[in-house]
Amino acid sequence: MGEIIDGKILSMQIKDELKVRNAEFEKKFGRKIKLAVVLVGENPASKVYVRNKIKSAEYIGIESLSFYLPEDAEEDEVLKLVKTLADDSSVDAILVQLPLPAHISEEKVLDIIPVEKDVDGFSDRNVGKLTLGKECIAACTPEGIIELLKSKNIELTEKNAVVIGRSNIVGKPIALLLLRENCTVTVCHSKTVGLKEICKEADIIVAAIGKPEFVKADMVKEGAVVIDVGINRTENGLKGDVDFLSVRDKASFITPVPGGVGPMTIAMLMKNAILCAERRESRNGL
């Protein structure tokens, strides 16, 4: 039976390390790190995520400024707020919780966040740098996945990794990070033919589909490492994209939902906020 990779415990350890790093920052630069959080609308999942992010920031000692706009806020209003935060020299990092209501262009909003404040790593320039293998702020969920794998000393070099899902926030960036770790990466999506056969060849499967218990045991090779990114609210509670009980029997390692990738995403967000502030101070010092 596969070993569970506990993202809750690992994220707590990381947050404790970040607490120390944050205190060192404050001591050295005589100020607090400031993270601006923007939430538009009433999406219940987004509200929970934002609450948890703010709680983690408090725990570490990062000051969070929260901005809540109603569901029917005009696009211009959101753009104006983000522009103000972008221009505010006291703000180190900006997080706009996605998804935005349908009438607001995510692209336009994300485009206003300067690359150096882009704590989520979603801006064109951060994604470009990630693609080129340059130093960057990488998206938090994919970064968290790499940390989970490394925490168990799972060898990545030469391994076949199959990513199911090609979204900009999970599928594509995790494929790039795994490539950086010398995996041979296959990215599958809704139009992939022969998904089951492709998955059966994988040493590592990352499931980021958004369909409850989509990955079944017959898609998984004996001894594979299975990372479940999915968060699906069902009548039977929160479910991942992996049929946990049956897949666990075959996997060597597996992440649970909840308590796997989710908490790591928040820990990486906090790390990125500190990185934004540290890099800003080092630029100021030049």
Smallest gap from residue 121 Cβ to ligand NAD (A): 12
Q: How many residues bind ligand NAD (CB under 6 A)?
A: 24
114 binds ligand NAD (CB under 6 A): no
The DSSP element (H or E) to which 4 belongs, if any, is strand 3-4
Smallest gap from residue 120 Cβ to ligand NAD (A): 11
Stretch that binds ligand NAD, among 12-20, 26-34, 113-121, 225-233 (CB under 6 A): 225-233
202 binds ligand NAD (CB under 6 A): no
Q: Which residue type, as a one-letter code, is found at position 272?
A: N
Report CA-CA distances (Å) from 46 to 51, 52, 57, 191, 204.
Answer: 8, 10, 16, 28, 29
200 binds ligand NAD (CB under 6 A): no
CB 216 within 8 A of CB 243: yes
Question: Closest CB to ligand NAD belongs to which residue?
Answer: 167
With CB under 6 A as the contact rule, the residue among 192, 217, 221, 281 that binds ligand NAD is 192
Smallest gap from residue 258 Cβ to ligand NAD (A): 9
170 binds ligand NAD (CB under 6 A): yes
DSSP state of 6: -
Closer CB to ligand NAD, 94 or 170, in the complex: 170
Sign of the Cα torsion 39, 43, 44, 49 reads negative
231 binds ligand NAD (CB under 6 A): yes
CB 215 within 8 A of CB 164: yes
CB 217 within 8 A of CB 246: yes
Contact residues for ligand NAD, defined by CB under 6 A: 141, 164-167, 169-171, 188-190, 192, 195, 208-211, 229-232, 261-262, 265
